[in-house]
Amino acid sequence: MAGDTSGQTITAVERTALVMSAFAQADSQHLGVTEISNNLDISKAVVHRILNTLRSLDYIAVDPATRRYMLGPAALELGLAFLRHVDVRDIAKPMLEELSAKTQETATLSIRSGTHRLYIDQVTPSREVKMTVLLGRSFPLHAGGSSKAILAHLAPEDIEDYMSDVVLEPLTELTITDPDLLMKDLARIRRLGYASSVNERQPGAASVAAPVFDHSGWPVAAISLCGPAERFQDQADEAAALIVAAGRQLSERMGYRG
C-alpha cells in the first residue's frame, strides 16, 4: 500500500513529506533541526531550508525564543479539509460496484443516524432475481447485518443504553429480540469482524456486513453484501471475506488508523 515507488518522484518533496510526518508523529510539539536531521538522515542544511520554506506558507511555525519548530495553522487547514471532503458515499461507490460484480449480488452502504441506520447507496447485479433495498429507509440497530455491524462496535455504554432504551422490536419472525442473545451475537461479530444475518430484517433475505470507522474510531457506517437467502448462503464465506476487506479499506480512507 503505502510507500509505493511507482512512477516519477521528487526527492525534495519526499523529504518534505517525511519532515511533516515527523511532526505529526512526534510526542512533543517542538522539534529542532538537528533532531530531525538525525532521525531522518537528511543534512541539517536541507532540513533547515525545508522548514524555512514551509514556515513562509504557515505549514510550520517557529518559536523565535527557542528557535524550535512546530506545526502551523495551515497543517490544521489540511486536516479539516480532509474531513470536509470525505464523503463515505463517493469513496464507497467504486467498492460497491466491485463487490457486486465479483459476487453477482447486491452491495449496500448504510450510515448510522442515532438509534437507527439507513441505506444511502446500493449497487445491484444484472440478473433477474436479485435484492433491492430502499434507499433512505431507516431501520433499528438490532436487526439485519449492517445494523448489527454498527451496533457491535459502539461504545459499551452506548450498547447498554440502546438495549435498555429501545424495545427490541421484531421486524420478522427471526429478528433477535432477546437482549442476552443479541449481546452474544454482537460479541461474535466483534470477534469475526463482520456480521451476518438471515431473515432477520427481511424475510427471504440474507447478508454479511462490515463496520466502517471514521477517523475517531467510531462506526459511522456499514457496508454489506446481500441477496436471496437460499442462494446467498452458499457463498456467504466468500462474501464475508470480501466485505471485511472492503470495510477495512473504506475505514482507512475515512481517516481511520487501525
Partner DNA sequence: ATTGACGTTCCACTAGGCGGAACGGGGCGG
Partner DNA sequence: CCGCCCCGTTCCGCCTAGTGGAACGTCAAT
Give the pairing of strands 195-198 and 205-213.
Answer: antiparallel
33 binds, among its own copies, DNA, none (CB under 5 to 8 A by kind): DNA
Pick between residue 12 and residue 74 the one whose CB is nearest to DNA.
12
Q: Which residues contact 166 (CB under 8 A, 6 or more apart)?
A: 115, 140, 141, 142
Contact between 252 and its own copies per CB under 8 A: yes
67 touches, from DNA, its own copies, none (C-beta below 5 to 8 Å by class): DNA
| Residues 184-213 contacting DNA, CB under 7 A | none
* Residue 3 contacts its own copies per CB under 8 A: yes
Contact call for residue 187 and its own copies (CB under 8 A): no
Q: Is residue 231 near DNA by the rule CB under 7 A?
A: no
Q: Which segments of the chain are extended strands (E)? A: 60-63, 68-71, 106-113, 116-123, 138-140, 195-198, 205-213, 219-228
Site residues (CB under 7 A) for DNA, limited to 21-40? 32-35
Of 95-134, binders to its own copies (CB under 8 A) are: 111-114, 118, 120, 134
The answer to whether the CB of 72 falls within 8 A of the CB of 58 is: yes
Q: Which long-range contacts link 91-94 to residues 24+ away (Cβ below 8 Å)? A: 91/250, 91/253, 91/254, 92/121, 92/212, 92/221, 92/223, 92/250, 93/121, 93/123
Q: Is 57 in the site for DNA (CB under 7 A)?
A: no
Q: Does 215 bind its own copies (CB under 8 A)?
A: yes
Task: Give the number of residues written for the chain.
Answer: 258
Q: Which of 26, 40, 42, 61 binds DNA (CB under 7 A)?
A: 42
Q: Which stretch binds DNA (CB under 7 A): 11-19, 100-108, 164-172, 223-231?
A: 11-19
Comparing C-alpha atoms, which of 201, 202, 168 is closest to residue 182? 168
Q: With CB under 8 A as the contact rule, which of the stretches 135-143, 144-152, 176-184, 198-206 interacts with its own copies?
A: 135-143
Cα(119)–Cα(240) distance, integer angstroms: 19
Please identify, among the stretches 62-70, 145-153, 202-210, 247-255, the one whose residues bind DNA according to the rule CB under 7 A.
Answer: 62-70
Residues interacting with DNA, by CB under 7 A?
Answer: 6-13, 15, 32-35, 42-46, 48-49, 51-52, 62, 65, 67-68
